[in-house]
Amino acid sequence: MLGFPSMELQLTPLRSLPLHYRTTTKATATATANTVSACSVESQALKPRPQLPRQAPFHSRRRSSPVHFPSLCAAIERLVAEGRHREACDALRDARAGAPFVVLPASTYDALVTAASALREAGSAAGVLWHMESSGFQPDQYMWNRVLGMYLVCGMLAEAREVFDGMPTRSRVTWGVMMGGLVDAKRPRGALALFRELWEELGVGAGPRVVVVAVRAATVLGSVHAGRELHCCVAKMGMCEDQYLPCALIDMYSKCGRIDEARRVFDGIPWRSVVAWNTMLAVYSLHGRSEEALDLYHHMCESGAGLDQFTFSTMLRIFSRLGLLEHAKQIHAGLIQSGLQMDIVGNTALVDLYCKWGQMEDARHVFERMPSRNLISWNALIAGYGYHGMGSKAIEMFERLLAEGIAPNHVTFLGVLNACRFSGFIDKGKRIFQLMTQNPKTKPRAMHYACVIELFGRQGLLDEAYSVIRKSPVTPTANMWGALLTAGRMNKNIQLARLAAEQLLAMEPQKVNNYIVLLNLYMNSGKRDEALTVVSTLKRAGLSMSAACSWITVKKKDHRFFFNDSLNPKSSEIYQRLDTLMEVIKELGYVIEEDELLPDILPDEQKTLKMFHSEKLAVAFGLISTSPSAPLTINQSHRLCHDCHNVIKFVTQVTKREITVRDASRFHHFKLGTCSCGDYW
C-alpha cells in the first residue's frame, strides 16, 4: 500500500437529487421544467406529460417509438467539426424545445460532449447529459469516460465524482480521466488518493498511463516524497521502458528542484526517445544550467537521436543565453536543409536570439517567413529594433501590428517606448504613451513611466521628467529614479541627479553601480572631495566592483579580456596596435576623459590606465585578428564608460570598420565616428 500522507479528496457534498435530473444553471433548470410540462403531440388534449419517476435508473427510462432526425444530427456533427461549438449546443437546445425526447446517435452525442467541453460551461454539459438520459440513450464505457471528462473540464467536480462512483464498470482510462481532471483543477491530493485506491485494487495492473497522471499530481503538489514513492512503484512494476513515464519522473524531480535525481532517471532509461532527450534539455534550460544543456545536446547529436522542433526551440534559448550566435546559425541552417518547419515558439526564439545579438536583418527575415505569428513574435522584433537604436523601424512594426488588428499589451508598449527613448523620438513617444493610457487594459506601469522620464531627459526637459515622478499614480521605483539620475547626469544638473542618486541608495544600498554613478557625478561636477567620500563609504560598506570583462568571438572562439589584461598570447601585438591607434586619434581631436573615476583605482592613476580598459583591448584584438573590412562585435559585462565610448567612435572613423558593443544597458552601433545611442546612455 502506498503511504501518501493525508490525501483525502475533499469534494462538495452530493445533493439528494439524483444526478440525471439535476442541472447546474438556471437555463437548464428552465429547460427541464418546460420539457416536463410539454403537451402530448399525439393526444392534442393539452394535458401535461406525466413526470418520470425520479428514482428510475438511468438506462431504464426510455421513450417508446423514438424519433430520429438525421439532418439535425449531421448538422450538429458538422458544426462541431468546424469548431462552431456554441451553434452546435444551440441546435440541441432548439431540438429539445421542439421534441424533447428525440434520440440522437452516439456519434452526435460524442460531438455534443466535445462542444460542451470546449465551451467549458456547466449548463451546456448538464444539458447534453440530460438529453442523453431523457431519450433513453445507453452509453457504453467510452461514452461514460467522455461524459466524465466533460464534467471535469467544466469544473463540475462533485457531479464528476458521482458519475465516477456510479459507473457500472471503470477501466484504467476512467481512473486516468478522473485523476487528470483533479490535477487540472489543482486538486493533486485528491488525484493521489484515487491512485492509492486504484493501487489497492489493481496493484501492478494499474498501467503506466495512470502512473504518469499520478506523477503529474505529485509534481503539481511539489511533493518529492510522493514522487519518490511513485518512482518505487514504477521500479516494482517494471515500467521503466515506457516512453512517457520516465519523462514524467524527470519533470517531477526537476520541478521539485532535484536536478541530479532527474539526471539519474534519464541515465537509467535503456532506450532514449527524442522526448526523453528534450525533457532533460528542458530541465537544464529551466534551471539555468546552460553549459550542461550544451554538453547534453552534443551527446544527443552523437547518439543519432532525431531532433525535432522542441529540441531546436530549447537549444536556441541556450545559445542565446551563452551568446553562441554561430551555433544558432548552424542549427537554423540544418533545420532548413532537413525541411523541418519550426513551430511558432521556435521561430520566435530565433527572432529573439538574432535581435539580442545584433543580427536585425536575419531577425526580420525569419519574422517575415513565419507561417503564423503571435504577439510574442511581434514584441521580440519591436523590442529588438528599439534596443539597437532603430526607432523608426520599431514604430513602423508597431503601426503595422495595429493595422492588422492585433491588440498590443504592456510588453509591446514597453518595446516601442524603449525605441522612442533610445532614438530620442519625444513626440512619437508621448503619442504612444497617450494611446496606452486611453486603454484600461494597458494602464501604464512603473517601467513605462521610466521610459517617459528618460525620453524627457534626453531632450533636456528636466522639469517635465521630474514632474512624471511626482504625478505618477504608481510608487516611484528604482528604474524611475535611475532614469531621472541619467537625465540629471547627462544634462549636468547636479541637484536633480543628487536627489535621484540618494533615493536610489536608500532603495538599493547594496548595489555598487549606484555608488559608481554618484561617484562620477561628483567627478563630472569637479567635486573631488565629495567623490572621495563616496569611495570611502563604498569601502566601509564592504562593497567592491566585480572585475569588468569584455569578450569578442573570432573564428567561433570567444576571447575574453579584463582590465590591464596580459594573458592573451597576442598581448604584445594588442598593446602595440592600441598605442598606434591612440596616437592617430589624438591627432583627430581625441582628448582623454579625466572626470571619470573608478573606486578601485587611485585618482592619479586614472589617466594612465584608462587605455587598458577591457573593451579597448577587445577592439584592438579584433582589429589585428580579422580582415580589414570585417565588422566587430564586442560584449561586455558592465556599462560602457565615456572614454571608451569616445575612443571607439574615433576608431571607426579611422579604420572605416563598424563596431557593435553590447554593454549592460543596450547596444551601441558605431559607424564612421557616430554611435546609434546619440551619446546618451
- In this predicted structure, the answer to whether residue 280 has a pLDDT above a threshold of 90 is yes
Beta partners for residue 327, in sequence order: none
pLDDT for position 335: 74
pLDDT for position 676: 85
Whole-number CA gyration radius for the chain: 34
Please write the tens of the pLDDT for every residue from 449-500.
999 999 999 888 999 999 999 999 999 999 999 899 888 888 888 889 889 9
pLDDT for position 428: 93
**Choice between 59 and 605, residue whose per-residue pLDDT is larger:** 605
Give mean pLDDT, residues 571-595: 87
Three cell numbers, residue 363: 531577425
347: Cβ–Cβ under 8 A, 6 or more apart, which residues?
A: 366, 367, 370, 377
Helix and strand totals (H; E) in the chain:
33, 6
pLDDT for position 99: 62
pLDDT band with cut points at 50, 70 and 90 for residue 595 = low
pLDDT for position 342: 74
Please write the tens of the pLDDT for every residue from 94-140.
776 666 567 788 999 999 999 999 999 898 999 888 888 888 888 89
Q: What are phi and psi of 662, to 5 degrees?
A: -105, 105
Give mean pLDDT, residues 389-393: 91
199-208, 297-306, 398-407, 515-524: the lowest-pLDDT one: 199-208
- In this predicted structure, the answer to whether residue 58 has a pLDDT above a threshold of 60 is no
- In this predicted structure, the answer to whether residue 48 has a pLDDT above a threshold of 80 is no
Closest CA to 192 of 165, 153, 218: 218
243: Cβ–Cβ under 8 A, 6 or more apart, which residues?
A: 273, 275, 276
- In this predicted structure, the answer to whether residue 330 has a pLDDT above a threshold of 70 is yes
Superfamily of domain 450-541 in the CATH hierarchy: Tetratricopeptide repeat domain (1.25.40.10)
Three cell numbers, residue 453: 522620464
In this structure, which long-range contacts are made by residues 357-363, counting pairs with CB atoms below 8 Å and at least 24 apart in sequence?
357/320, 357/323, 357/325, 357/633, 357/662, 358/388, 358/633, 358/660, 358/662, 358/667, 358/669, 359/325, 360/384, 360/385, 360/388, 360/390, 360/393, 362/329
**Choice between 38 and 362, residue whose per-residue pLDDT is larger:** 362
**What is the length of the chain?**
681
pLDDT for position 100: 59
Give mean pLDDT, residues 567-593: 90
Please write the tens of the pLDDT for every residue from 9-36.
333 333 333 333 333 333 433 333 333 3
- In this predicted structure, the answer to whether residue 327 has a pLDDT above a threshold of 70 is yes
Listed by start position, the domains of the chain span 272-340, 450-541, 549-675
257-266, 311-320, 391-400, 413-422: the lowest-pLDDT one: 311-320
Give mean pLDDT, residues 193-210: 80
Amino acid identity, position 142: Y
Measured over the CA atoms of residue 560, residue 566, residue 571 and residue 576, the dihedral's sign is positive
Please write the tens of the pLDDT for every residue from 624-673.
999 998 999 998 878 888 889 999 999 999 999 999 998 877 788 899 99
Calpha distance 559→30 (Å, rounded): 76
What is the chain's mean pLDDT, rounded?
81
pLDDT for position 657: 93
Closest CA to 505 of 496, 497, 515: 515
Q: Could you give the maximum distance between any two Cα atoms of the chain, in Å? A: 112
* CB environment 202-221: b (16+ within 10 A), e (fewer): eeeebbbbbbbbbbbbbbbb
pLDDT for position 495: 87
Please write the tens of the pLDDT for every residue from 138-148.
889 999 999 99
